Amino acid sequence: MSFIQDPFSGGKSISPVPTNSLQVNEDHFISPESLMAYCSMRMRGIEDQIKLAFAKQEKSNADQKALGELSQWFHTYSYQDAAGIPGVTSAFDYAIGRVGADTDAGARLTTLKNTVIEKIKEHPMSPEDTEKLVIQTIKEINGDVAGGAELNMINLQSLMSQRQMAIQLSTNLIQMLGEMTNKIIANIHG
């Protein structure tokens, strides 16, 4: 038994290959079927990662939209005194529900919500206080979500490049196997 190197993982060895296979060099053996199975498996893995990256991107976009709507709500509605607490609570709860309470953005919004409600109970908030505390914090959270989305896009581009490499490898392998088959047939008829 011998191991082959995974060209997509920085040279890590993968599963053993029988020695009665096509000899790649004096230390490694691999059958064409094994190579095709590996390429197929690698493509499926990359496709799954790409789907996950797209889902993360859609989630980031939805989170940014929810944060933008919350910021807009604070620009639009009067809530500065205790009578506005139910509206503030409702607006924050809606945004937290959209981004997910278990996410970093959700936890930060929950903390902000509690801070805003306590401040409103103490004394009415001025538009300046609102701008400093609420809207700036929402902008910071939105900026962090956008930064995560940018990193996700870089990862997605890397996955697309890996996908292209895997397709190229598979194409080259199929072409090589076809050429080998033609040579064998030519030798038999020759």
Q: Between helices 32-76 and 85-99, what is the axis angle to 10°?
A: 170
Predicted pLDDT of residue 26: 55
- pLDDT-wise least confident of 23-27, 48-52, 150-154, 184-188: 23-27
Tokens, residue 190:
């020759």
Whether residue 130 is predicted with pLDDT greater than 80 in this model: the reply is no
Predicted pLDDT of residue 12: 52
* Residue pLDDT, tens place only, 51-67: 999 999 999 999 999 99
Q: Domain tally for the chain?
A: 2
pTM: 0.67
The answer to whether residues 51 and 141 belong to one domain is yes
The answer to whether residues 49 and 6 belong to one domain is no
121, part of any domain = yes
Q: CB–CB of 54/163 below 8 Å? A: no
Averaged confidence pLDDT in the chain:
82
| Domain enclosing residue 3, as ranges | 1-30
The answer to whether residues 20 and 70 belong to one domain is no
Predicted pLDDT of residue 143: 94
Between 140 and 120, whose confidence is greater?
140
Question: Cβ contacts of residue 5 below 8 Å, gap of 6+?
Answer: 11, 12, 13, 14, 28
The answer to whether residues 20 and 48 belong to one domain is no
Whether residue 134 is predicted with pLDDT greater than 60 in this model: the reply is yes
Amino acid at 66: A
Q: Rounded to 5 degrees, what are φ and ψ at 143?
A: -60, -40
Predicted pLDDT of residue 8: 53
- pLDDT range class, residue 99, cuts 50, 70, 90: very high
The answer to whether residues 19 and 54 belong to one domain is no
The answer to whether residues 16 and 64 belong to one domain is no
The answer to whether residues 15 and 53 belong to one domain is no
186, part of any domain = no
Predicted pLDDT of residue 20: 43
The answer to whether residues 107 and 23 belong to one domain is no
